[in-house]
Amino acid sequence: MKLDLDPTLVVRARELAARAGRPVVDLARAHTTVSVERAVLRLAGVAGADPDGIPWVNRLVDAVRADVGLGHGVAVPVFDALLREGIDDVTLLAQKASAGSVRFRVPEKQAGPRRAARKHVQAGLRRIDRRRAERERLVKRHGDAPRRPWIYLIVATGDIFEDIPQAQAAARAGADVIAVIRSTGQSLLDYVPEGATREGFAGTYATQENFRLMRAALDESSRELGRYVRLTNYASGLCMPEMAVLAGLERLDMMLNDSMYGILFRDINPIRTFVDQRFSRQVHARAGIVINTGEDNYLTTADAVEAAHTVTVSQLLNEYFAHEAGLADWQLGLGHAFEINPDLPESFRLELAHALLARELFPDAPLKWMPPTRHMTGDVFRGNLLDGFFNLVGAMTGQGILLVGMMTEAVVTPWLSDRDIALQNVRYVLGAAGGLHEDFVPAPGGFIQRRAHEVLASSIELLERIEAEGLLAAIADGTFGIMKRPADRGKGLDGVAKHEADYYNPAIS
Protein backbone atom coordinates (compact mmCIF):
# COMPACT_ATOMS: atom_id res chain seq x y z
CA MET A 1 0.00 0.00 0.00
CA LYS A 2 1.34 3.41 -1.00
CA LEU A 3 0.22 5.37 2.06
CA ASP A 4 1.38 2.89 4.70
CA LEU A 5 -1.96 3.16 6.50
CA ASP A 6 -2.23 1.35 9.82
CA PRO A 7 -4.56 -1.61 9.05
CA THR A 8 -5.89 -1.62 12.60
CA LEU A 9 -7.04 1.99 12.15
CA VAL A 10 -8.74 1.13 8.87
CA VAL A 11 -10.59 -1.74 10.56
CA ARG A 12 -11.48 0.57 13.46
CA ALA A 13 -12.93 3.15 11.04
CA ARG A 14 -15.15 0.55 9.38
CA GLU A 15 -16.32 -0.85 12.71
CA LEU A 16 -17.28 2.62 13.90
CA ALA A 17 -19.12 3.35 10.64
CA ALA A 18 -21.09 0.13 11.06
CA ARG A 19 -21.97 0.94 14.66
CA ALA A 20 -23.01 4.47 13.71
CA GLY A 21 -25.07 3.24 10.77
CA ARG A 22 -26.79 0.25 12.38
CA PRO A 23 -29.46 2.25 14.30
CA VAL A 24 -30.38 4.03 11.08
CA VAL A 25 -30.74 0.69 9.29
CA ASP A 26 -32.93 -0.56 12.14
CA LEU A 27 -35.06 2.57 11.74
CA ALA A 28 -35.35 2.00 7.99
CA ARG A 29 -36.31 -1.65 8.50
CA ALA A 30 -39.19 -0.57 10.73
CA HIS A 31 -40.71 2.05 8.42
CA THR A 32 -42.10 2.47 4.93
CA THR A 33 -42.86 5.51 2.76
CA VAL A 34 -45.28 6.49 0.04
CA SER A 35 -42.48 6.17 -2.51
CA VAL A 36 -41.47 2.68 -1.38
CA GLU A 37 -45.07 1.57 -1.72
CA ARG A 38 -45.42 3.23 -5.13
CA ALA A 39 -42.24 1.47 -6.25
CA VAL A 40 -43.76 -1.88 -5.24
CA LEU A 41 -46.85 -1.15 -7.34
CA ARG A 42 -44.72 -0.08 -10.30
CA LEU A 43 -43.04 -3.48 -10.11
CA ALA A 44 -46.54 -4.99 -10.08
CA GLY A 45 -47.33 -3.24 -13.36
CA VAL A 46 -49.08 0.04 -12.52
CA ALA A 47 -48.26 2.54 -15.27
CA GLY A 48 -49.51 5.74 -16.88
CA ALA A 49 -51.11 8.90 -15.55
CA ASP A 50 -54.51 10.55 -15.36
CA PRO A 51 -55.51 13.49 -17.62
CA ASP A 52 -53.93 15.91 -15.12
CA GLY A 53 -50.57 14.13 -15.35
CA ILE A 54 -50.76 12.56 -11.89
CA PRO A 55 -49.44 8.98 -12.10
CA TRP A 56 -52.00 6.26 -11.45
CA VAL A 57 -49.60 4.77 -8.92
CA ASN A 58 -49.88 7.97 -6.84
CA ARG A 59 -53.65 7.87 -7.06
CA LEU A 60 -53.72 4.24 -5.94
CA VAL A 61 -51.37 4.66 -2.97
CA ASP A 62 -53.26 7.77 -1.86
CA ALA A 63 -56.55 5.84 -1.97
CA VAL A 64 -55.14 2.94 0.06
CA ARG A 65 -53.58 5.33 2.55
CA ALA A 66 -56.88 7.17 3.02
CA ASP A 67 -58.71 3.92 3.83
CA VAL A 68 -56.22 1.84 5.85
CA GLY A 69 -52.97 3.84 6.17
CA LEU A 70 -49.52 2.77 4.97
CA GLY A 71 -48.34 0.72 7.94
CA HIS A 72 -49.57 -2.61 6.56
CA GLY A 73 -47.99 -1.95 3.16
CA VAL A 74 -50.19 -1.43 0.10
CA ALA A 75 -49.71 -4.89 -1.44
CA VAL A 76 -52.29 -6.77 0.63
CA PRO A 77 -55.04 -4.11 0.48
CA VAL A 78 -54.51 -3.61 -3.27
CA PHE A 79 -54.52 -7.28 -4.21
CA ASP A 80 -57.35 -8.04 -1.83
CA ALA A 81 -59.39 -5.43 -3.74
CA LEU A 82 -58.19 -6.82 -7.07
CA LEU A 83 -59.42 -10.28 -6.13
CA ARG A 84 -62.73 -8.91 -4.85
CA GLU A 85 -63.23 -6.92 -8.06
CA GLY A 86 -62.46 -9.96 -10.19
CA ILE A 87 -59.89 -8.17 -12.38
CA ASP A 88 -56.19 -8.76 -13.05
CA ASP A 89 -55.10 -5.27 -14.17
CA VAL A 90 -53.63 -3.20 -11.34
CA THR A 91 -53.69 0.00 -13.41
CA LEU A 92 -57.40 -0.47 -14.01
CA LEU A 93 -57.85 -0.88 -10.26
CA ALA A 94 -55.99 2.42 -9.75
CA GLN A 95 -58.36 4.13 -12.17
CA LYS A 96 -61.40 2.72 -10.37
CA ALA A 97 -59.95 3.76 -7.00
CA SER A 98 -59.34 7.28 -8.30
CA ALA A 99 -63.01 7.46 -9.31
CA GLY A 100 -64.03 6.38 -5.80
CA SER A 101 -65.56 3.08 -6.89
CA VAL A 102 -63.16 0.85 -4.89
CA ARG A 103 -62.58 0.78 -1.15
CA PHE A 104 -59.65 -0.88 0.58
CA ARG A 105 -59.33 -2.99 3.71
CA VAL A 106 -56.79 -5.16 5.53
CA PRO A 107 -58.37 -8.63 5.39
CA GLU A 108 -58.01 -11.09 8.25
CA LYS A 109 -57.04 -13.86 5.83
CA GLN A 110 -54.10 -12.64 3.78
CA ALA A 111 -52.76 -15.74 2.02
CA GLY A 112 -54.63 -15.11 -1.25
CA PRO A 113 -53.78 -11.39 -1.58
CA ARG A 114 -50.15 -12.05 -0.61
CA ARG A 115 -49.89 -14.79 -3.22
CA ALA A 116 -51.36 -12.55 -5.93
CA ALA A 117 -49.13 -9.62 -4.93
CA ARG A 118 -46.03 -11.80 -4.97
CA LYS A 119 -46.91 -13.09 -8.46
CA HIS A 120 -47.29 -9.60 -9.95
CA VAL A 121 -44.26 -8.07 -8.20
CA GLN A 122 -42.02 -11.02 -9.03
CA ALA A 123 -42.90 -10.48 -12.70
CA GLY A 124 -41.46 -6.98 -12.43
CA LEU A 125 -38.36 -8.20 -10.65
CA ARG A 126 -37.82 -10.86 -13.33
CA ARG A 127 -37.96 -8.12 -15.94
CA ILE A 128 -35.18 -6.30 -14.08
CA ASP A 129 -33.21 -9.55 -14.01
CA ARG A 130 -33.62 -9.87 -17.79
CA ARG A 131 -32.41 -6.30 -18.32
CA ARG A 132 -29.31 -7.00 -16.20
CA ALA A 133 -28.58 -10.14 -18.24
CA GLU A 134 -29.11 -8.13 -21.41
CA ARG A 135 -26.49 -5.59 -20.28
CA GLU A 136 -24.01 -8.38 -19.64
CA ARG A 137 -24.63 -9.81 -23.11
CA LEU A 138 -24.19 -6.41 -24.77
CA VAL A 139 -20.94 -5.72 -22.92
CA LYS A 140 -19.65 -9.07 -24.19
CA ARG A 141 -20.87 -8.38 -27.71
CA HIS A 142 -19.68 -4.78 -28.11
CA GLY A 143 -16.79 -4.75 -25.67
CA ASP A 144 -16.25 -2.49 -22.69
CA ALA A 145 -14.44 0.82 -22.38
CA PRO A 146 -10.77 0.06 -23.16
CA ARG A 147 -9.38 1.77 -20.07
CA ARG A 148 -10.10 3.07 -16.62
CA PRO A 149 -11.14 5.60 -15.49
CA TRP A 150 -14.38 5.64 -17.43
CA ILE A 151 -14.94 9.10 -18.89
CA TYR A 152 -18.25 10.43 -17.56
CA LEU A 153 -19.93 13.35 -19.33
CA ILE A 154 -23.13 15.28 -18.61
CA VAL A 155 -25.83 16.35 -21.05
CA ALA A 156 -28.82 18.41 -19.98
CA THR A 157 -30.75 20.54 -22.47
CA GLY A 158 -34.22 20.03 -21.00
CA ASP A 159 -35.38 18.38 -24.24
CA ILE A 160 -34.79 14.64 -24.45
CA PHE A 161 -34.78 14.83 -28.24
CA GLU A 162 -31.92 17.36 -28.08
CA ASP A 163 -30.13 15.38 -25.38
CA ILE A 164 -29.97 12.29 -27.60
CA PRO A 165 -27.78 13.70 -30.43
CA GLN A 166 -25.59 15.49 -27.88
CA ALA A 167 -25.10 12.24 -25.95
CA GLN A 168 -24.27 10.33 -29.13
CA ALA A 169 -21.79 13.02 -30.17
CA ALA A 170 -20.15 12.84 -26.75
CA ALA A 171 -19.83 9.06 -27.04
CA ARG A 172 -18.15 9.45 -30.44
CA ALA A 173 -15.74 11.96 -28.86
CA GLY A 174 -14.72 9.45 -26.19
CA ALA A 175 -17.27 9.53 -23.37
CA ASP A 176 -17.88 6.12 -21.77
CA VAL A 177 -20.74 7.17 -19.48
CA ILE A 178 -23.50 9.65 -20.33
CA ALA A 179 -25.31 11.32 -17.43
CA VAL A 180 -28.58 13.14 -18.07
CA ILE A 181 -29.01 15.76 -15.35
CA ARG A 182 -32.54 16.12 -14.01
CA SER A 183 -34.55 19.30 -14.26
CA THR A 184 -33.99 21.64 -11.32
CA GLY A 185 -36.41 20.90 -8.50
CA GLN A 186 -37.51 17.44 -9.68
CA SER A 187 -36.07 15.90 -6.55
CA LEU A 188 -38.77 17.74 -4.57
CA LEU A 189 -41.65 16.40 -6.66
CA ASP A 190 -43.43 13.56 -4.85
CA TYR A 191 -44.34 11.93 -8.15
CA VAL A 192 -42.51 10.84 -11.30
CA PRO A 193 -43.65 12.70 -14.44
CA GLU A 194 -44.85 10.60 -17.38
CA GLY A 195 -43.76 10.45 -20.99
CA ALA A 196 -41.11 12.08 -23.16
CA THR A 197 -40.42 15.67 -22.11
CA ARG A 198 -39.20 18.60 -24.19
CA GLU A 199 -38.69 21.32 -21.62
CA GLY A 200 -36.89 21.46 -18.30
CA PHE A 201 -34.90 23.83 -16.15
CA ALA A 202 -31.12 23.34 -16.26
CA GLY A 203 -31.80 19.66 -16.94
CA THR A 204 -34.22 17.12 -18.38
CA TYR A 205 -37.03 15.49 -16.43
CA ALA A 206 -36.30 11.92 -15.39
CA THR A 207 -39.17 9.78 -16.70
CA GLN A 208 -39.43 6.15 -17.71
CA GLU A 209 -39.95 7.11 -21.34
CA ASN A 210 -36.93 9.42 -21.33
CA PHE A 211 -34.89 6.57 -19.82
CA ARG A 212 -36.09 4.26 -22.60
CA LEU A 213 -35.35 6.74 -25.40
CA MET A 214 -31.83 7.54 -24.22
CA ARG A 215 -30.96 3.89 -23.55
CA ALA A 216 -32.08 2.96 -27.09
CA ALA A 217 -30.00 5.79 -28.55
CA LEU A 218 -26.87 4.77 -26.64
CA ASP A 219 -27.41 1.16 -27.71
CA GLU A 220 -27.16 2.47 -31.29
CA SER A 221 -23.94 4.27 -30.35
CA SER A 222 -22.60 1.11 -28.71
CA ARG A 223 -23.09 -0.83 -31.96
CA GLU A 224 -21.48 1.98 -33.96
CA LEU A 225 -18.46 2.43 -31.68
CA GLY A 226 -17.80 -1.18 -30.73
CA ARG A 227 -17.97 -0.51 -26.98
CA TYR A 228 -20.86 -0.46 -24.53
CA VAL A 229 -21.82 3.14 -23.61
CA ARG A 230 -23.29 3.47 -20.13
CA LEU A 231 -26.22 5.64 -19.05
CA THR A 232 -26.66 7.46 -15.73
CA ASN A 233 -29.53 9.30 -14.07
CA TYR A 234 -30.67 10.16 -10.56
CA ALA A 235 -32.23 7.99 -7.83
CA SER A 236 -32.49 10.74 -5.27
CA GLY A 237 -35.13 13.04 -3.87
CA LEU A 238 -38.66 12.17 -2.80
CA CYS A 239 -39.08 9.45 -5.45
CA MET A 240 -35.79 7.62 -4.93
CA PRO A 241 -37.30 4.07 -4.78
CA GLU A 242 -39.42 4.63 -7.89
CA MET A 243 -36.46 5.99 -9.84
CA ALA A 244 -34.48 2.89 -8.89
CA VAL A 245 -37.24 0.61 -10.18
CA LEU A 246 -37.63 2.54 -13.43
CA ALA A 247 -33.85 2.50 -13.94
CA GLY A 248 -33.79 -1.26 -13.48
CA LEU A 249 -36.69 -1.76 -15.88
CA GLU A 250 -35.06 0.39 -18.58
CA ARG A 251 -31.47 -0.90 -18.13
CA LEU A 252 -29.72 2.16 -16.84
CA ASP A 253 -26.18 1.39 -15.71
CA MET A 254 -25.45 3.95 -12.99
CA MET A 255 -27.61 6.00 -10.67
CA LEU A 256 -26.76 8.91 -8.39
CA ASN A 257 -27.76 7.50 -5.01
CA ASP A 258 -26.30 9.05 -1.88
CA SER A 259 -27.47 8.27 1.63
CA MET A 260 -27.45 11.92 2.78
CA TYR A 261 -27.47 14.23 -0.26
CA GLY A 262 -31.25 14.79 -0.24
CA ILE A 263 -31.16 15.52 3.47
CA LEU A 264 -28.36 18.06 3.30
CA PHE A 265 -28.94 19.82 0.01
CA ARG A 266 -32.69 19.41 -0.63
CA ASP A 267 -33.92 19.53 2.99
CA ILE A 268 -35.70 16.19 2.67
CA ASN A 269 -36.52 14.62 6.00
CA PRO A 270 -33.71 12.32 7.24
CA ILE A 271 -36.00 9.40 8.16
CA ARG A 272 -37.77 9.57 4.78
CA THR A 273 -34.40 9.61 3.04
CA PHE A 274 -32.86 6.66 4.88
CA VAL A 275 -35.96 4.49 4.40
CA ASP A 276 -36.12 5.34 0.71
CA GLN A 277 -32.40 4.90 0.07
CA ARG A 278 -32.31 1.43 1.63
CA PHE A 279 -35.08 0.13 -0.64
CA SER A 280 -33.60 1.86 -3.69
CA ARG A 281 -30.20 0.27 -3.04
CA GLN A 282 -31.78 -3.16 -2.75
CA VAL A 283 -33.22 -2.61 -6.23
CA HIS A 284 -29.87 -1.34 -7.55
CA ALA A 285 -28.12 -4.39 -6.15
CA ARG A 286 -30.49 -6.70 -8.02
CA ALA A 287 -30.31 -4.66 -11.22
CA GLY A 288 -26.49 -4.61 -11.31
CA ILE A 289 -26.46 -0.80 -11.24
CA VAL A 290 -23.40 1.13 -10.03
CA ILE A 291 -24.37 3.84 -7.55
CA ASN A 292 -22.65 7.22 -7.43
CA THR A 293 -22.57 8.90 -4.02
CA GLY A 294 -22.45 12.65 -3.43
CA GLU A 295 -19.60 13.46 -1.07
CA ASP A 296 -18.25 15.95 -3.61
CA ASN A 297 -21.18 18.22 -2.76
CA TYR A 298 -19.98 18.68 0.83
CA LEU A 299 -16.95 20.50 -0.50
CA THR A 300 -19.05 23.06 -2.34
CA THR A 301 -20.27 24.41 1.02
CA ALA A 302 -17.47 23.43 3.43
CA ASP A 303 -13.74 23.98 3.07
CA ALA A 304 -12.13 21.06 1.22
CA VAL A 305 -9.12 20.91 3.56
CA GLU A 306 -10.84 21.48 6.90
CA ALA A 307 -13.74 19.15 5.98
CA ALA A 308 -11.74 16.45 4.19
CA HIS A 309 -12.38 13.96 7.00
CA THR A 310 -16.17 14.41 6.68
CA VAL A 311 -15.88 13.12 3.10
CA THR A 312 -14.05 10.02 4.33
CA VAL A 313 -16.62 9.47 7.09
CA SER A 314 -19.49 9.76 4.61
CA GLN A 315 -17.77 7.33 2.24
CA LEU A 316 -17.44 4.80 5.07
CA LEU A 317 -21.10 5.25 6.02
CA ASN A 318 -22.20 4.97 2.39
CA GLU A 319 -20.17 1.77 2.09
CA TYR A 320 -21.83 0.30 5.18
CA PHE A 321 -25.35 1.22 4.04
CA ALA A 322 -24.61 -0.12 0.55
CA HIS A 323 -23.28 -3.47 1.76
CA GLU A 324 -26.21 -3.86 4.15
CA ALA A 325 -28.60 -3.35 1.21
CA GLY A 326 -26.80 -5.97 -0.88
CA LEU A 327 -24.54 -3.90 -3.13
CA ALA A 328 -21.10 -5.31 -3.98
CA ASP A 329 -17.88 -3.30 -3.93
CA TRP A 330 -17.82 -3.06 -7.74
CA GLN A 331 -21.13 -1.16 -7.52
CA LEU A 332 -19.83 1.55 -5.19
CA GLY A 333 -18.96 4.71 -7.10
CA LEU A 334 -18.07 6.55 -3.89
CA GLY A 335 -17.72 10.27 -4.55
CA HIS A 336 -14.96 12.75 -3.83
CA ALA A 337 -13.73 15.91 -5.55
CA PHE A 338 -10.90 18.22 -6.59
CA GLU A 339 -12.20 21.24 -4.64
CA ILE A 340 -9.23 22.62 -2.69
CA ASN A 341 -8.57 26.32 -3.28
CA PRO A 342 -5.86 26.31 -5.98
CA ASP A 343 -4.27 29.41 -4.40
CA LEU A 344 -3.48 27.41 -1.26
CA PRO A 345 0.20 26.38 -1.11
CA GLU A 346 0.70 22.68 -1.95
CA SER A 347 -2.94 22.37 -3.01
CA PHE A 348 -2.06 19.78 -5.67
CA ARG A 349 -0.22 17.59 -3.16
CA LEU A 350 -3.19 17.83 -0.79
CA GLU A 351 -5.50 16.72 -3.60
CA LEU A 352 -3.22 13.75 -4.27
CA ALA A 353 -3.26 12.79 -0.59
CA HIS A 354 -7.05 12.90 -0.35
CA ALA A 355 -7.63 11.04 -3.62
CA LEU A 356 -5.08 8.36 -2.81
CA LEU A 357 -6.56 7.89 0.67
CA ALA A 358 -9.97 7.15 -0.90
CA ARG A 359 -8.35 4.76 -3.37
CA GLU A 360 -6.57 2.79 -0.64
CA LEU A 361 -9.51 2.69 1.76
CA PHE A 362 -11.80 1.32 -0.97
CA PRO A 363 -9.51 -0.68 -3.28
CA ASP A 364 -12.30 -2.65 -5.00
CA ALA A 365 -14.74 0.24 -5.50
CA PRO A 366 -14.61 2.20 -8.76
CA LEU A 367 -14.71 5.64 -7.01
CA LYS A 368 -16.19 8.67 -8.77
CA TRP A 369 -13.74 11.56 -9.08
CA MET A 370 -15.45 14.96 -9.49
CA PRO A 371 -13.93 18.08 -11.09
CA PRO A 372 -13.41 21.57 -9.64
CA THR A 373 -16.50 23.77 -9.44
CA ARG A 374 -16.27 25.97 -6.34
CA HIS A 375 -13.08 27.75 -7.38
CA MET A 376 -13.84 28.11 -11.09
CA THR A 377 -13.83 31.87 -11.67
CA GLY A 378 -14.99 32.27 -15.26
CA ASP A 379 -11.41 32.46 -16.57
CA VAL A 380 -11.70 29.63 -19.10
CA PHE A 381 -7.93 29.32 -19.60
CA ARG A 382 -7.30 28.92 -15.89
CA GLY A 383 -10.30 26.60 -15.71
CA ASN A 384 -8.96 24.34 -18.44
CA LEU A 385 -5.61 24.17 -16.64
CA LEU A 386 -7.31 23.26 -13.35
CA ASP A 387 -9.26 20.54 -15.13
CA GLY A 388 -6.00 19.19 -16.53
CA PHE A 389 -4.54 18.95 -13.00
CA PHE A 390 -7.77 17.28 -11.86
CA ASN A 391 -7.45 14.73 -14.69
CA LEU A 392 -3.81 14.12 -13.71
CA VAL A 393 -4.75 13.35 -10.08
CA GLY A 394 -7.33 10.89 -11.41
CA ALA A 395 -4.66 9.15 -13.46
CA MET A 396 -2.04 9.15 -10.69
CA THR A 397 -4.41 7.67 -8.07
CA GLY A 398 -6.27 5.11 -10.18
CA GLN A 399 -9.78 6.56 -9.98
CA GLY A 400 -12.54 4.49 -11.63
CA ILE A 401 -15.01 7.10 -12.91
CA LEU A 402 -13.86 10.57 -13.99
CA LEU A 403 -16.46 13.28 -14.53
CA VAL A 404 -15.35 15.61 -17.31
CA GLY A 405 -14.69 19.11 -15.98
CA MET A 406 -15.82 22.12 -18.01
CA MET A 407 -13.71 25.23 -18.36
CA THR A 408 -16.96 27.24 -18.63
CA GLU A 409 -18.15 26.10 -15.19
CA ALA A 410 -19.82 29.06 -13.44
CA VAL A 411 -20.17 30.93 -16.74
CA VAL A 412 -22.65 29.18 -19.06
CA THR A 413 -24.25 25.81 -19.68
CA PRO A 414 -21.54 24.16 -21.82
CA TRP A 415 -21.67 24.43 -25.59
CA LEU A 416 -20.83 21.35 -27.66
CA SER A 417 -17.49 23.00 -28.48
CA ASP A 418 -16.76 23.37 -24.75
CA ARG A 419 -17.34 19.65 -24.30
CA ASP A 420 -15.04 18.86 -27.21
CA ILE A 421 -12.22 20.89 -25.64
CA ALA A 422 -12.84 19.31 -22.23
CA LEU A 423 -12.76 15.81 -23.73
CA GLN A 424 -9.50 16.67 -25.54
CA ASN A 425 -8.04 17.60 -22.16
CA VAL A 426 -9.11 14.28 -20.63
CA ARG A 427 -7.91 12.23 -23.61
CA TYR A 428 -4.52 13.93 -23.61
CA VAL A 429 -3.90 13.38 -19.89
CA LEU A 430 -5.12 9.77 -19.90
CA GLY A 431 -3.25 9.03 -23.11
CA ALA A 432 0.00 10.55 -21.87
CA ALA A 433 -0.18 9.47 -18.21
CA GLY A 434 -2.99 6.93 -17.89
CA GLY A 435 -0.71 4.33 -16.31
CA LEU A 436 1.07 6.71 -13.97
CA HIS A 437 -0.67 5.21 -10.93
CA GLU A 438 1.58 2.16 -11.40
CA ASP A 439 4.68 4.29 -10.85
CA PHE A 440 3.49 6.98 -8.47
CA VAL A 441 4.52 6.17 -4.89
CA PRO A 442 4.63 8.99 -2.31
CA ALA A 443 7.82 9.40 -0.31
CA PRO A 444 7.72 7.35 2.92
CA GLY A 445 6.87 9.70 5.76
CA GLY A 446 6.49 12.57 3.31
CA PHE A 447 3.87 15.26 2.94
CA ILE A 448 1.27 13.11 1.13
CA GLN A 449 1.50 10.19 3.54
CA ARG A 450 1.35 12.47 6.59
CA ARG A 451 -1.71 14.28 5.27
CA ALA A 452 -3.53 11.01 4.50
CA HIS A 453 -2.78 9.71 8.02
CA GLU A 454 -4.05 12.99 9.48
CA VAL A 455 -7.35 12.78 7.57
CA LEU A 456 -7.87 9.14 8.59
CA ALA A 457 -7.21 9.97 12.25
CA SER A 458 -9.68 12.87 12.13
CA SER A 459 -12.22 10.59 10.48
CA ILE A 460 -11.95 8.11 13.34
CA GLU A 461 -12.38 10.88 15.90
CA LEU A 462 -15.53 12.09 14.13
CA LEU A 463 -16.91 8.55 13.81
CA GLU A 464 -16.38 8.02 17.53
CA ARG A 465 -18.43 11.14 18.23
CA ILE A 466 -21.15 10.10 15.76
CA GLU A 467 -21.33 6.63 17.28
CA ALA A 468 -21.76 8.14 20.74
CA GLU A 469 -24.29 10.83 19.78
CA GLY A 470 -26.10 9.08 16.92
CA LEU A 471 -25.97 9.74 13.18
CA LEU A 472 -29.29 11.58 13.13
CA ALA A 473 -28.02 13.94 15.83
CA ALA A 474 -24.79 14.53 13.88
CA ILE A 475 -26.80 15.42 10.78
CA ALA A 476 -28.94 17.78 12.86
CA ASP A 477 -25.78 19.46 14.20
CA GLY A 478 -24.43 20.30 10.74
CA THR A 479 -21.58 17.79 10.75
CA PHE A 480 -21.77 17.19 6.98
CA GLY A 481 -21.61 20.08 4.52
CA ILE A 482 -22.39 22.51 7.42
CA MET A 483 -26.14 21.98 6.80
CA LYS A 484 -28.24 21.41 9.96
CA ARG A 485 -31.12 19.00 9.28
CA PRO A 486 -33.11 17.77 12.33
CA ALA A 487 -34.85 14.39 12.07
CA ASP A 488 -38.27 15.89 12.84
CA ARG A 489 -38.11 18.49 10.08
CA GLY A 490 -37.77 18.54 6.32
CA LYS A 491 -39.85 17.67 3.30
CA GLY A 492 -41.59 14.31 2.99
CA LEU A 493 -41.92 13.37 6.67
CA ASP A 494 -45.69 13.09 6.27
CA GLY A 495 -45.08 10.30 3.76
CA VAL A 496 -43.39 8.02 6.34
CA ALA A 497 -45.23 5.29 8.27
CA LYS A 498 -44.13 2.83 10.93
CA HIS A 499 -44.65 -0.85 10.08
CA GLU A 500 -47.61 -2.61 11.62
CA ALA A 501 -47.11 -6.20 12.81
CA ASP A 502 -48.48 -7.58 9.52
CA TYR A 503 -46.52 -5.27 7.19
CA TYR A 504 -45.90 -6.99 3.85
CA ASN A 505 -43.70 -5.94 0.92
CA PRO A 506 -43.40 -8.68 -1.73
CA ALA A 507 -40.39 -6.98 -3.34
CA ILE A 508 -38.19 -7.68 -0.30
CA SER A 509 -40.06 -10.38 1.65
Do 106 and 161 reside in the same domain of the chain?
A: no
Domain termination site, one of 436, 455, 475: 436
Q: Give the separation between CA 203 and CA 182, rounded to whole angstroms.
A: 5
Catalytic residue among 296, 298, 503, 504: 296
Q: What pLDDT is attached to residue 295?
A: 86
Residues 232 and 401: beta-carbon distance below 8 Å = no
Confidence of residue 509 (pLDDT cuts 50, 70, 90): confident
Vertex 243 angle, CA 144 and 332, to 5°? 45
Catalytic residue among 368, 491, 503, 504: 368
* pTM over 0.85, yes/no: yes
Please indicate, yes or no, if residue 115 is contained in any of the structural domains: yes
Confidence of residue 417 (pLDDT cuts 50, 70, 90): confident
Q: Give the separation between CA 289 and CA 266, rounded to whole angstroms.
A: 24
Please indicate, yes or no, if residue 138 is contained in any of the structural domains: no
Do 431 and 363 reside in the same domain of the chain?
A: yes
User: For the domain that residue 354 is a member of, what is the CATH number?
Assistant: 3.20.20.440
Partner residues linked to 257 by β-bridges: none
Q: Looking at 59-63, 142-146, 324-328, which range is the least confident one?
A: 142-146
Q: Give the separation between CA 298 and CA 310, rounded to whole angstroms.
A: 8
Do 77 and 195 reside in the same domain of the chain?
A: no
Residues 281 and 297: beta-carbon distance below 8 Å = no
Q: 368-370 and 335-337 as β-strands: parallel, antiparallel, unpaired? A: parallel
One-letter amino acid for residue 30 of the chain: A
Residues 128 and 136: beta-carbon distance below 8 Å = no
Query: Is position 261 annotated as part of the catalytic site?
Result: yes
Q: Give the separation between CA 190 and CA 268, rounded to whole angstroms.
A: 11
With H, G, I as helix, E, B as strand and everything else as coil, classify residue 234. strand
Do 385 and 258 reside in the same domain of the chain?
A: yes
Query: Is position 205 annotated as part of the catalytic site?
Result: no
Q: Got the DSSP string for 253-310?
A: -EEE--SSHHHHHH-B-HHHHHHHHHHHHHHHHHHTPEEE--GGGHHHHS-TTTTHHH
Query: Is position 503 annotated as part of the catalytic site?
Result: no
Do 236 and 345 reside in the same domain of the chain?
A: yes
Domain termination site, one of 121, 155, 175: 121
Catalytic residue among 152, 261, 298, 503: 261
Do 421 and 380 reside in the same domain of the chain?
A: yes
Does the structure show a pLDDT above 90 at 135? yes
Do 317 and 427 reside in the same domain of the chain?
A: yes
Q: Give the separation between CA 62 and CA 34, rounded to whole angstroms.
A: 8
**Residue range 272-287, pLDDT digits in tens:** 999 999 999 999 999 9
Q: What pLDDT is attached to residue 38?
A: 98
Do 69 and 148 reside in the same domain of the chain?
A: no
Burial class (CB in 10 A: 0-12, 13-18, 19+), 298: buried
Do 308 and 407 reside in the same domain of the chain?
A: yes
Domain termination site, one of 436, 471, 502: 436
171: domain range?
Answer: 143-436
Do 112 and 189 reside in the same domain of the chain?
A: no
Q: Give the separation between CA 110 and CA 121, rounded to whole angstroms.
A: 16
Do 297 and 262 reside in the same domain of the chain?
A: yes
With H, G, I as helix, E, B as strand and everything else as coil, classify residue 31. strand
Domain count, the chain: 2
**Residue range 453-505, pLDDT digits in tens:** 999 999 999 999 999 999 999 999 988 877 899 999 999 999 999 999 999 99
Please indicate, yes or no, if residue 487 is contained in any of the structural domains: no
Do 242 and 199 reside in the same domain of the chain?
A: yes
